[in-house]
Amino acid sequence: MTSDTSARTGAPLARGRHRAAFTAGEWRSIAGMAGFILLLHVVGWGVLLLAVAPRNYALGTTGVLGAGVGLTAYMLGVRHAFDADHIASIDNTTRKLVGEGKPSVSAGFWFSLGHSSVVFGASLLLALGVRSVAGVVQDEGSQVGQLLGLIGTFVAGAFLVIIGLVNLVAVFGIARVFRRMRTGEYDEVQLEQHLNNRGFLARLLGRVTKRVSRAWHLYPVGLLMGLGFDTASQVALLVLAAGSAAFVLPWYAILVLPVLFAAGMSLFDAADGVFMSRAYGWAFLHPVRKVFYSLTVTVLSVVVALVVGVVVLVGLLTERLGIETGPLPWLASLDLAFVGFGVVGLFVLIWGAALAVWRFGRIEEKWSGVSRRDDAAPATE
């Protein structure tokens, strides 16, 4: 096969950038994440069950610091991983990185690590006896708490809206490609180029999000999103740690709570990132797959990112302006925790449905045949 023929089929181009299976480097990354998450579980549960629980540290009239309190902290982390802002941030960024041919398998892990750092840092200050931090966590009216809440909420909402708009531009571009592809207007190389260059607005918004060009760049995003202490499970854990600190417990007895919180959250955030990286990697291996899968999943990604981002920003707006009537307060009152669980289910269903339609509908064979016939035509002249 000549280089010209290879260029027209587009196979080397597509397979050089995207892979259906994980590479050796990605497997090493997955192994590293698994090792770190396992370490969190071993340290958290080991310290709790072997060093803390046997001492029966009293928590006033609420009982003792034992396995029950540790399980509460762990499940708060698990629930937090299913918050809609986590799912939307990880999925949209994973799609962006896979589309650019960059490693994305650890995106969820880095996001959860950044988020966990805030909880761990605040609990560390509590363990060191900085009681003012406990006041910030427990007093919603404190100036420091309000400032951190404003920063964290704005960053969360703005990031989701921006990344959602970037992918919305992608939806329009993919839809145009899909319509023209049915007439055989594009060969695979032109299709690949078109999907990677979707006009001025995409390039303009790309300047805003270009800083998130590596999976580890989600660490500061998760860190900033966690600054507000505005998520129910995060507040609950910190109040729990603050209550423990009030009884002058050893530092390790207090820090075991955020470690367990991080273990639960990072396990499911990392799993979400790996799953979505695998799903998008399969879809981007071939231009026809890219159109078929991207047009369905990207629409869902855009809807989730924009809905969650708008809800977060509307909540901030209604709180700052004191709006109590009309549709805005109702929109701001939506529980993002339940939305997050629904988003996870939708992604799994759509991925399964797309795979079934692809296999039983023989989509690639039918659509790739158009470009193959176009490629073969000049040779018969």
Which of 161-175, 262-276, 332-346 has the lowest average pLDDT?
A: 332-346
Whether 149 is in a domain gets the answer yes
Q: Is the pTM of this model over 0.85?
A: no
Q: Which tops the pLDDT comparison, 377 or 63?
A: 63
**Mean of per-residue pLDDT scores for the chain:** 70
Contact 113, 222 (CB under 8 A): yes
What φ, ψ does residue 58 adopt, rounded to 5°?
Answer: -80, 140
Q: What confidence tier does 13 reach under pLDDT thresholds 50, 70, 90?
A: very low
Contact 312, 328 (CB under 8 A): no
Q: Over 70: is that where the pLDDT of 83 sits?
A: no
For residues 5-15, average pLDDT? 38
Residue 131 CB: number of other CB atoms within 10 A?
12
Q: How many domains does the chain have?
A: 1
Whether 373 is in a domain gets the answer yes
CA dihedral (72, 75, 77, 82) positive or negative: negative
pLDDT in the model for residue 3: 39
Amino acid letter at 207?
R
What distance in Å separates the CA atoms of residue 373 and residue 169, rounded to the nearest whole number?
31
Span 278-287, pLDDT tens digits? 777 666 666 6
Q: Over 50: is that where the pLDDT of 16 sits?
A: no
For residues 96-105, average pLDDT? 80
What distance in Å separates the CA atoms of residue 101 and residue 124, rounded to the nearest whole number?
39
**In a 10 Å sphere around its CB, with 0-12 CB exposed, 13-18 middle and 19+ buried, how is residue 13 labelled?**
middle
Whether 296 is in a domain gets the answer yes
For residues 130-146, average pLDDT? 57
Q: Residue 249's closest CA among 56, 119, 116, 70?
A: 56
Whether 201 is in a domain gets the answer yes
Cα 242 to chain centroid, rounded: 29
Contact 22, 99 (CB under 8 A): no
Amino acid letter at 109?
F
Which of 39-43, 82-86, 370-374 has the lowest average pLDDT?
A: 370-374
Whether 3 is in a domain gets the answer no
**In a 10 Å sphere around its CB, with 0-12 CB exposed, 13-18 middle and 19+ buried, how is residue 253 labelled?**
buried
pLDDT in the model for residue 351: 67
Q: At what angle do helices 251-283 and 232-245 cross, to 10 degrees?
A: 160
Q: Which tops the pLDDT comparison, 104 or 198?
A: 104
Q: Residue 136's closest CA among 223, 242, 250, 233?
A: 242
For residues 136-150, average pLDDT? 59
Q: Which residues of 92-112 are buried (b: 16+ CB within 10 A; e: fewer)?
A: bbbbbbbbeeebbbbbbbbbb
pLDDT in the model for residue 234: 58
Q: Over 80: is that where the pLDDT of 363 sits?
A: no
pLDDT in the model for residue 184: 66
Whether 249 is in a domain gets the answer yes
Whether 233 is in a domain gets the answer yes
pLDDT in the model for residue 21: 67
21: left (phi over 0), alpha (psi -120 to 50) or beta: beta
Alpha-carbon Rg for the chain in angstroms: 24
Q: What confidence tier does 93 reach under pLDDT thresholds 50, 70, 90?
A: confident
**What does each C-alpha distance from 349 to 2, 342, 345, 354 come to in angstroms?**
41, 11, 6, 8
What distance in Å separates the CA atoms of residue 189 and residue 6, rounded to the nearest whole number?
9
Whether 287 is in a domain gets the answer yes
Q: Which domain holds residue 231?
A: 14-380
For residues 229-255, average pLDDT? 62
pLDDT in the model for residue 364: 66
Q: Over 70: is that where the pLDDT of 100 sits?
A: yes
Q: What confidence tier does 2 reach under pLDDT thresholds 50, 70, 90?
A: very low
CA dihedral (47, 48, 52, 54) positive or negative: negative
